[in-house]
Structure 1
Amino acid sequence: MFFLKNKETKETFDRELKKTRESFFSRIKSLFFRKSKLDTDFIDHIEEILLSSDIGTETTIKIINNLEKKIQKEKYRGGEIQKLYKLLKEEIEFLFKNIKNECLEQKIKEERKPYVIMMVGVNGVGKTTTIGKLAFFLKKKGFNLIIGAADTFREAAINQLEIWSNTVNVPLIKQHMYADPASVAYDTLQSAQSRKVDVVLIDTAGRLQNRIGLMEELAKISRVMKKVISKAPHEIMLVLDASTGQNAFEQVKKFISFVKVSSIILTKLEGTAKGGVVIGIMDQFQVPIQYIGVGEKIQDLKEFNGKKFIDSFFLPQIQI
């Protein structure tokens, strides 16, 4: 259900998600204090708050419908309005319960080395930076890694990865600009085998405006990698920018239409009030969020903790 390996305090997590928490919670708190009775108007206001938090229309409707059914079943009255707060939280928690979120570290340990992770995402979401942060994160966990610079269409991406690889002290396999991305991936996996590394991170291009070309390119990279390691890639991670709100939903739809996305990294969560996309994306696509980016520093990539995330939406408890 939820992954609770993160040792950080609730206060730290709340601080990292301050804008999302304050935007959602302050409006919910205001609504519950302002209203004295449970009526249709009250439910409409909750729906409006959920939508404005970028949870998404489909997920919002699901939450509201379930809420209304329980209200009718339990015959809640106006004087029991405080129970609705707890009920709303439970409905959002329920959306997370059936999503399988396996520990990446455990999967790496269980799989025959090297474990290959292909990173996908549109340009501008922080994919290259996230690869550097993920390399740092996994290295701290005791894994040795290698990075493949297969986004050969942007010189800046190759240069940026080189800076990150030097910072993290992780080998980087690269070729010249406009080289065949599949060739870079092939070289990276061969090098990974010879060096006996644990994890391979493969960067890819994010030119979503040319969807057919990108789909063919990712498919080719996968085929070529299988010539070296039959199960590669073991993991396809989609990097999303949380601050884009509803646009992040569209990116997930497009990527899962032509690659099997196994998990998501959501970046820039600390700087946006649109953190509700976490709830909508996990509910609508049933793809687990593995990590969240909460800052510019190298250590600002955190394991996603569903329970803490939902608690940050609803704490402190409202007393009515």
Structure 2
Amino acid sequence: MDGYLVITIVVILAALLAAGGLFFMYRPKARNLPPVDTPLVGGGAEEEEGGGTTTATLPPPAEELVRPPELEVPPPSAGRMVRLRARLARSQSTLGRGLLELLSRDRLDDEAWDEIEETLITADVGVGPTRAMVEELRTRVKVLGSRTPAEARGLLREQLLAQINPELDRTLHTSAPGDRPAVLLVVGVNGTGKTTTTGKLARSLIGDGKTVVLGAADTFRAAAADQLQTWGDRVGATVVRGPEAGDPASVAFDAVARGIADKVDVVIVDTAGRLHTKTGLMDELGKVKRVIEKRAQVDEVLLVLDATTGQNGMRQAQVFAEVVNITGIALTKLDGTAKGGIVISVQRELGVPVKLVGLGEGPDDLAPFDPEVFVDALLGE
């Protein structure tokens, strides 16, 4: 029995010695690493091997892998309409040229005056303003007698400006008393460019040096919040959004609360596009405004209208005006129509000034409305 024990111990010791020998024979060789104090400059280090020099590339620091997008610096809003005047003139030249040709005739009979009236009505000036203009022009022409083209242009310019009314206050209320932000509510039907106008307006205000919070209260259209987020990210505006199909009034309330907490200058709330024939949706718009006013006064209600819709846009405007107190009009796609007379008719019907005009697809093509620049573009040089 003792002999078996001795033999077992010897076998175990032999096995351990053999395993140790194999470990030392096949252990991994140590790598030639650079000294601890070897400098690593510019993402690489130099090693000498056999008299040669090689460069080892190291990964960039983690903070360089994820860089936030560079914010765009929008131009200020001042002078935008002057810069876009040529674009406006191209779309409105048919109206202005046609009227000037008619007024420059040596003899203006009833048929010529009918043509002038028809041209103005076709341009969506509206029946009331058109008749007022034609009556005044007929009186002035009788007094002048013969007219040079320059005199005809002067007459027409004077009458168009009188109908557009340069004396209306077109100031966009983007400053509020005290520490609270100014609150702007943007309303309109689907397809007028409402969300795009909201984004462009934020961009314009930031170009003027203001800070902005955007409220994505159009929760019924899936792409609306994403679209507004893109606009905000490009210029550094905070976007407050809620769940899809959530309560728009709640999002609007949260946006205003965020604006107050962050002490920003302006909060712009984009609402869902509403069909002016749908009573329930229009009632909800009234609710959004009432909920906002639990935190802050609404300083501006902008109605976005598509200038190409003509008199249909007028009907939309009238219904919206019954639900919320509209303080200004933003006319989009004014460069895409010869019916610039809607500027006159919408102001006359609502008693509300056109404050902003969209004159193209570019991010900086939203401009404060300037009556004189508009009329001069209408009539050409």
TM-score normalised by the shorter chain: which range applies?
A: 0.7 to 0.9
In the alignment, which residue of structure 1 is the partner of 2:119?
49
Query: Equivalents in 2 of 1:101, 1:41: separation in Å?
Result: 38
Q: Give 1:84 deviation, angstroms.
A: 4.5
- The correspondence of residues 88-167 of structure 1 with structure 2, limited to 5 A, is 88-97=156-165, 99-104=167-172, 107-109=173-175, 111-112=177-178, 113-167=180-234
| 2:336 aligned with 1:271 | yes
- With 244-253 and 207-216 compared, the bigger mean Cα shift is at 207-216
Query: Equivalents in 2 of 1:303, 1:158: separation in Å?
Result: 25
Q: Give 1:207 deviation, angstroms.
A: 2.1
Alignment counterpart, residue 7 of structure 1, candidates 63, 69, 79: 79
SS at match of 1:55: coil
Query: Equivalents in 2 of 1:18, 1:310: separation in Å?
Result: 9
Q: Which string of whole-angstrom CA distances, capped at 9 and with x for unpartnered residues, describes residues 127-181 of structure 1?
A: 0011110000000111101011111111121221122111222111111111111
Query: Equivalents in 1 of 2:341, 2:228: separation in Å?
Result: 30
Q: Which string of whole-angstrom CA distances, capped at 9 and with x for unpartnered residues, describes residues 105-136 of structure 1?
A: xx433533310000001000100011110000
Contact 1:58 1:284 in 2 (8 A): no
Distance 1:29 1:80, change over 3 A: closer
Query: Equivalents in 2 of 1:44, 1:244: separation in Å?
Result: 24
Distance 1:9 1:300, change over 3 A: closer
Contact 1:240 1:265 in 2 (8 A): yes
SS at match of 1:292: strand
Q: Which string of whole-angstrom CA distances, capped at 9 and with x for unpartnered residues, describes residues 230-259 of structure 1?
A: x2x111000111121222212211211221
Q: Which string of whole-angstrom CA distances, capped at 9 and with x for unpartnered residues, describes residues 292-311 of structure 1?
A: 11111111111111111111
- With 63-72 and 240-249 compared, the bigger mean Cα shift is at 63-72
- The correspondence of residues 279-294 of structure 1 with structure 2, limited to 5 A, is 279-294=344-359
Alignment counterpart, residue 96 of structure 2, candidates 25, 35, 49: 25
Q: Give 1:100 deviation, angstroms.
A: 2.4
Q: Give 1:29 deviation, angstroms.
A: 3.5
Distance 1:265 1:178, change over 3 A: same
Distance 1:180 1:9, change over 3 A: closer
SS at match of 2:312: helix
| Structure 2: stretches of 5+ with no match in the other structure | 1-76
Q: Which string of whole-angstrom CA distances, capped at 9 and with x for unpartnered residues, describes residues 181-213 of structure 1?
A: 111111111111110111000011122155321
Q: CA RMSD in A?
A: 2.1
Query: Equivalents in 1 of 2:294, 2:321: separation in Å?
Result: 24
| Structure 1: stretches of 5+ with no match in the other structure | none
Query: Equivalents in 2 of 1:298, 1:241: separation in Å?
Result: 17
Alignment counterpart, residue 61 of structure 1, candidates 115, 123, 131: 131
In the alignment, which residue of structure 2 is the partner of 1:40?
110
Contact 2:81 2:368 in 1 (8 A): no
Largest Rg, 1 or 2: 2
Contact 1:115 1:200 in 2 (8 A): yes
Distance 1:85 1:9, change over 3 A: same
Query: Equivalents in 2 of 1:9, 1:120: separation in Å?
Result: 23
In the alignment, which residue of structure 2 is the partner of 1:187?
254
Opposite residue 108 of structure 1, the aligned amino acid is: T
In the alignment, which residue of structure 1 is the partner of 2:64?
none
Contact 1:6 1:305 in 2 (8 A): no
Opposite residue 86 of structure 2, the aligned amino acid is: R
Identify the structure with bigger relative contact order (alpha carbons < 8 Å, sequence gap 6+): 1
In the alignment, which residue of structure 1 is the partner of 2:360?
295
